[in-house]
Structure 1
Amino acid sequence: MNKAGKIEVNIYLDEKARETISRELNLYLSNLQVFYAKLHNLHWNVEGRNFFKVHEKLEEYYDYVSDHIDEIAERILTLGYRPLVKLSDYAQNATLKEIDSKRYDVEESLNIVLKDFSELIGQLRNIIKLVQEYGDEGTADILIGSLKEFEKDSWMLRATLS
């Protein structure tokens, strides 16, 4: 800690890079938090044919997203900044939209998840490009892993819905 009480971060990324990347990661974190809540909503409210399989798959998705949320928040801290934690901040910053608590049939549920995966994939591609321009391979590595996972999940949902 320096004399001003600020934690010094020396991971060979300048402060502008760390600040810009942290801001983008907080926007992504906001979308992940909305997606996490949405997956729980669908998990609890899905009904219809193949309920058991879809119910279990939605749980797998929210477990993965929960772990990814933690990883993103810890990366923001690694960069020397604070992750957003207030639900109001997530709602204000997220581009993903919440859904109501009501009955969702299986096909509708899977289409909602597929649409959100698509938005997250687009956001990830933009952030990956940004972090690579700054030479932040640590953040890129985290994000590329999730990009790969979300792309695979999207393919599987498209195959299921066809």
Structure 2
Amino acid sequence: MATTTSKTKSKNKTLSETLNRQVANFSVLHMKLHHFHWYVKGENFFTLHVKFEELYKEAAMHLDTIAERMLAQGALPVATLTEILELTTLKEATGDEDAKQMVQSLADDFEMICTELTEGIALAEENEDQPTEDLLVHIRTSLEKHRWMFEAYLGNE
């Protein structure tokens, strides 16, 4: 029979694994947004170039905040490209995307991350970890808005 302490450690490990997946996701997203920022072309260049820059700065902020939360809790965030690529649930940019495909790819990424953040929010709540829960809710709220705006841009909303 597991003790309360081992059950708590098991739950916390699951939460830190969930947070680490988001460290990996935001690392990939940050690079993908840089890629799109550098290589976007076409009639919407000026709009998307600026938007992608805004988003890679936000992704970097989320990445740092999640990693620092993990460190504050005694967990170790992934910090190598090998680990990041093993853990991420996002796909890297291919280099062949046009502007519309870039936007669709990001909308899909935001949806994926939001789904995973919802799972993380539930885990944080189970662990009575309100600061982590609040952090993840804040990030999800921002990404949901970005996803909605990209869907509207694409004419899908």
TM-score (norm 2): 0.90
Q: Contact 1:49–1:106 at 8 Å: present in 2 too?
A: no
Which among 117, 128, 146 is matched to residue 153 of structure 1?
A: 146
Match of 2:40 in 1: 46
Identity %: 35
Given the alignment of the two structures, is residue 110 of structure 1 paired with residue 97 of structure 2, yes or no? no
Which among 62, 84, 89 is matched to residue 78 of structure 2?
A: 84
Which among 61, 69, 76 is matched to residue 75 of structure 1?
A: 69
Structure 1 segments of 4 or more deviating over 6 A? none
Q: Contact 1:34–1:98 at 8 Å: present in 2 too?
A: yes
Equivalenced residue count is 148
What stretches of structure 2 of length at least 5 have no aligned partner?
A: 1-7
Match of 2:29 in 1: 35
- Give 3-state SS (helix, strand or coil) of 2:84's partner: helix
Q: Quick one: distance in 1 between partners of 2:11 and 2:108?
A: 30
Q: Quick one: distance in 1 between partners of 2:151 and 2:93?
A: 21
What stretches of structure 1 of length at least 5 have no aligned partner?
A: 1-13
Letter in structure 2 aligned against 1:39: L
TM-score (norm 1): 0.87
**Structure (1 or 2) with the greater helix fraction:** 2
